[in-house]
Structure 1
C-alpha cells in the first residue's frame, strides 16, 4: 500500500529537506557519498527512508 510518504523524492525535494543546493546532491553521488539515489530512466530519485537514515548516520 502506497501513501504519499512512500513516494520517491526528486532531487529538488531532497535538496530542500537537507538544506543544500541540488548540485551538491549530484556531486555527492559522483563522489559516492550522500544518500543513496536511484536512476529511474533519466531521473534521479530517492526513497525518503534512505535519506532520513543517511541523515541519522551523519555525526
Structure 2
C-alpha cells in the first residue's frame, strides 16, 4: 500500500490555513515535515495528521 502524498495546497486546505502560513512554517521548521519530489513540495498524510495531533496535545493549534 502506498501512502497518500499531499500537495501544499491540499495540506493548506486540510489544516484550514493560508498557503503563506504553511510556507512560513515550512521555512521555520515548525510545520509538518515536507520534502521535495520532482521539484514540488509534498507531505505524507500520516505526518500531517501526526503533527496536527501533537499540536493539539500541546495546545498549539492556531498559534
Same structural fold, with TM-score higher than 0.5 when normalized by the shorter chain: yes
- How big is the shift at 1:41? 2.1
1:35 maps to 2:32: yes
- How big is the shift at 1:25? 1.2
Structure 2 unaligned blocks of 5 or more: none
Q: Relative contact order (alpha carbons < 8 A, sep ≥ 6): 1 or 2 greater?
A: 1
Q: Distance in 2 between matches of 1:47 and 1:26?
A: 16
CA deviation string 1:1-59 (max 9, x = no partner) = 23xxx220001110000000111111111111010011112100000000000001012
Aligned pair count reads 56
Deviating 4+ runs (over 4 angstroms): none
Compute the TM-score of the two structures, normalised by the length of structure 2. 0.81
Choose the corresponding residue for 2:50, options 41, 44, 53.
Answer: 53
Q: Distance in 1 between matches of 2:29 and 2:21?
A: 12
Compute the TM-score of the two structures, normalised by the length of structure 1. 0.86
